[in-house]
Amino acid sequence: MLRFLAKRLLMMIPLLIGITLISFVVIHLAPGEPTDMQTDLNPDASVELQERLRAQYGLDQPLYVQYGQWLGRLSRLDFGESFSLDHRPVMEKIRERLPITIIINLLSIILILAVAIPIGILSATRRNSLFDRATTVFVFIGFAMPSFWLALLLMDYGGVRLGLFPIAGIRSLGHEYLSFSARIWDLVHHLILPVFVSAFGGLAGFSRYMRSNMLEVVRQDYILTARAKGLSERVVIYRHALRNALLPVITLLGLSVPGLIGGSVIFETIFAIPGMGKLFYDGVMMRDYPLIMGVLVIGAILTLVGNLLADISYAMADPRIRRS
């Protein structure tokens, strides 16, 4: 097992370098440079300034030199300095935005699982019942509804008209004057709408997946055996079928690990949440290469780690895989 792990980890290194190389080349292929964005169409900026800025950022070097420099810095765990006007370390900018993004994504995944798994099981066991049809309609409404629209409706009715929720942001204005528990409540209160909106759209995928897994499993011979033994339907479903139906969910969870740091730019913009989605989007629009690369590298590492974790936990949960 240990050898297997070490091998997998070693294999991740060339993979990671390959990913960064491709990303680096692709983002530099996009037309426009950060210096253009800072000086263009500004009557006060001279062409000479643009040349100087390019030299300061090292953009006048050939691409492979730039990549080499970037890789050298990365090996010292330095993502470099942002090319945007604030010239701050990329690490610092990402660190500022990471916690809130992870919190929202984590809560949203938990909410999705807590709602989608039961829906999936029940619709599978009561296939074609009224419940099955109603939930199908419900989860597909969530899937089809544009999240920005739902968000705005909830903000207007839940926030402005009924006054139940704060409209946007993650903290109230007087947050720093509150007691510790009141601060936690303030944060939770602000997160209810965003988490609900981001989870609502994800229900369909997970619950349908769960439903079809369950249907698949229920047809298996060992379920027939269990029923033939005279076990109660409850035991058949929740002990024998459910466990097997849950296995593929592990893979899905592993795949959603990189999603933890990603955010939707539309969603963050509407709720005024300072998250990773907006940071990355603005970085791309401004051609802030170090920032883009920083976010991509973290995303790539999490994807690889997520896959590894999924494989390991799969092996632990399913003896058939362990033995083969």
Partner 1 sequence: MIRKSVSVLLVLLMMVLLLSGCQPDEGFVPESDADAKPAYGDTFIEASIGEPSNLLPILATDSASSEINGLVYNGLVRYDKNLKLEGELAESWDISPDNLTITFHLRKGVKWHDGAPFTSADVMFTYRLYIDPDTPTAYAESYKQVKHAEAPDDYTFRVTYDKPYAPALGSWAMRILPKHLLDGVPITKSPLSRHPIGTGPFVFTEWQSGEKVVVEANPDYFEGRPFLKRVVYRVIPDQTTQFLLLRNGDLDYMDLSPIQYQTQTDTLAFERRFNKYRYLAFSYTYLGYNLERPLFKDRRVRQALSYAINKQEIIEGVLLGLGQAATGPYKPDTWVYNPNVKRYPYDPDKARALLAEAGWHDSDGDGILDKDGRPLQFTIITNQGNDLRIKTGEIMQQRFREVGVSVKLRVIEWAAFLKDFIHAGNFDACILGWAGGPEPDQYNIWHSSKTGTRELNFIHFRNAEVDRLLEEGRRTFDQEKRKKIYDRFQEILAEEQPYTFLYVAESLPVVARRLHGIEPAPAGITHNFIRWYVPEEEQKYAR
Which residues are near partner 1 by CB under 8 A? 30-33, 36-47, 49-50, 52-53, 56, 84-88, 93, 96-97, 118-119, 122, 131, 134-135, 138, 141, 152-157, 159-161, 163, 167-171, 173-174, 177, 268-275, 278, 285, 287
Distance, C-alpha 294 to centroid of its chain: 16
As a whole number of angstroms, the distance between CA 94 and CA 98 comes to: 6
As a whole number of angstroms, the distance between CA 79 and CA 24 comes to: 13
Alpha-helical runs (H) found in 58-89: 63-75
| Inter-residue contact 279 to 291 (CB < 8 Å) | yes
Q: How far is the CB of 273 from partner 1 (least distance, A)?
A: 8
- By beta-carbon proximity to partner 1, the closer residue of 20 and 82 is 82
- By beta-carbon proximity to partner 1, the closer residue of 14 and 163 is 163
Q: Which residues make Cβ contacts (< 8 Å) with residue 263, sequence separation at least 6? A: 101, 104, 105, 273, 275, 276, 277, 278, 280
- By beta-carbon proximity to partner 1, the closer residue of 229 and 234 is 234
- By beta-carbon proximity to partner 1, the closer residue of 86 and 221 is 86
Q: How far is the CB of 270 from partner 1 (least distance, A)?
A: 5
Structure tokens at 214: 């369950």
- By beta-carbon proximity to partner 1, the closer residue of 15 and 282 is 282
Q: How far is the CB of 143 from partner 1 (least distance, A)?
A: 13
Q: How far is the CB of 162 from partner 1 (least distance, A)?
A: 9
Q: How far is the CB of 17 from partner 1 (least distance, A)?
A: 27
- By beta-carbon proximity to partner 1, the closer residue of 71 and 284 is 284
As a whole number of angstroms, the distance between CA 228 and CA 313 comes to: 32
Produce one character per residue of 4-13: b if its CB has 16 or more CB atoms within 10 Å, e if not.
Answer: eeeeeeeebe
Q: How far is the CB of 42 from partner 1 (least distance, A)?
A: 5
Neighbours of 219 (CB within 10 A): 10
